[in-house]
């Protein structure tokens, strides 16, 4: 969605200009996860919701082929494997006191890996969009400025966090509810180095499958291009919804 109040004016106005109060466009459902996850659980199974825009919608920054593979194959695998892991755990529990320790350890890892993969990808899709980019708006802009000094400062920190992920992982701008604070996380795989209870406002996938077709080994170019896909309206909406969920707005 455009950042401005009216669709007609949106395309012509500089994106860095704010119009006073943030105009929330999304229905308030609570946390970013609650907003993004949509109808992704039915009949006792986790399911893959469709991408919320066309595969080519993020061109030229993220190519259609990458989006198709990323959503239809990689994300789907995390959904399927979360279901399979739950099934395998249920089977394993039938052994009662004779549960196989090695099998259990493997499944516990599979559980957090796949569950977190499904959740993070759902938020990732929801925080990007066509005709996006620019600067944060409204209360999110205010708290970013308060926390990091300026948007350029958070961009530098966030990009370094993304660049520094060893192997596969994510950089995530998250809301940490205990201190009512924004925090940048450098997450390994999907599930390591997170903070309990924090809400992923803006996750960036830096697994090679997220960029290798177009950017090859140039992760920095992918990160720089990704900023052009960030839907600050959506991120700002969920930030406000998150504060309300905690009774802070
Ligand atoms: Mn991914």
For each of the chain's 249 residues, which pLDDT tens digit applies?
344 433 333 443 334 434 346 777 765 567 778 777 777 888 889 999 999 999 999 999 999 999 999 999 999 999 999 999 999 999 999 988 889 999 999 999 999 999 999 999 999 999 999 999 999 999 999 999 999 999 999 999 999 999 999 999 999 999 999 999 999 999 999 999 999 999 999 999 999 999 999 999 999 999 999 999 999 999 999 999 999 999 997
Residues 75 and 179: their CA atoms lie apart, in Å, by 32
Superfamily of domain 130-245: Iron/manganese superoxide dismutase, C-terminal domain (3.55.40.20)
Closest to 248 measured CA to CA, from 171, 152, 143: 143
Distance 34 CA to ligand 1 centre (A): 19
Cβ count near 96 (within 10 Å): 6
Both tokens of 207, joined, read 């697994």
Q: How far is the CA of 219 from the centre of ligand 1 (A)?
A: 14
Cβ 31 vs Cβ 245: under 8 Å: yes
Q: How many CA atoms lie within 13 A of 195 on its CB side?
A: 18
67 Cα: distance to centroid of ligand 1 (angstroms): 10
In DSSP terms, 200 is beta-bridged to 174
Report the separation in Å between the CA atom of 12 and the middle of ligand 1, taken as the mean of its atom positions: 33
Closest to 85 measured CA to CA, from 117, 108, 56, 116:
108
Residue 19 CA, ligand 1 centroid: distance in Å: 34
Residues composing the chain: 249
Nearest to 162 by CA among 118, 113, 227, 110: 227
Give the Cα separation of 71 and 31 in Å (integer): 22
pLDDT of residue 35: 77
- Distance CA(56)–CA(68), nearest Å, equals 9
Taking the centre of ligand 1 as the mean of its atom positions, its distance from the CA of residue 117, in whole angstroms, is 7
Q: Where are the domains of the chain?
A: 130-245
Predicted TM-score (pTM) of the model is 0.89
The Cα-based distances of 191 to 116, 117, 162, 169, 187 in angstroms read 6, 8, 15, 9, 7
């Amino acid at each position: 969605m455009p950042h401005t109040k009216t669709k007609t004016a949106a395309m012509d106005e500089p994106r860095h200009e704010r119009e006073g109060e943030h105009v929330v466009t999304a229905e308030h459902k609570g946390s970013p996860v609650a907003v993004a996850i949509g109808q992704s659980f039915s009949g006792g199974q986790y399911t893959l919701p469709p991408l919320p825009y066309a595969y080519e919608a993020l061109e030229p920054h993220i190519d259609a082929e990458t989006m198709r593979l990323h959503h239809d194959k990689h994300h789907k695998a995390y959904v399927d494997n979360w279901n399979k892991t739950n099934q395998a755990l249920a089977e394993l529990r039938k052994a009662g006191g004779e549960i196989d320790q090695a099998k259990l350890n493997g499944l516990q890892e599979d559980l957090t890996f796949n569950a977190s993969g499904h959740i993070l990808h759902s938020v990732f899709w929801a925080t990007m969009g066509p005709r996006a980019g620019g600067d944060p708006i409204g209360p999110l802009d205010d708290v970013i400025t308060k926390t990091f000094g300026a948007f350029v400062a958070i961009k530098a920190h966030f990009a370094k966090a993304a660049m520094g992920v060893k192997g596969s992982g994510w950089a995530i701008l998250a809301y940490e509810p205990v201190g009512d604070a924004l925090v940048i996380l450098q997450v390994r795989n999907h599930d390591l180095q997170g903070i309990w209870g924090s809400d992923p406002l803006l996750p960036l996938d830096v697994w090679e499958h997220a960029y290798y077709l177009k950017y090859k080994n140039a992760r920095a170019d992918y990160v720089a291009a990704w900023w052009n896909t960030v839907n600050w309206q959506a991120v700002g909406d969920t930030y406000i919804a998150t504060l309300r969920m905690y009774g802070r707005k």
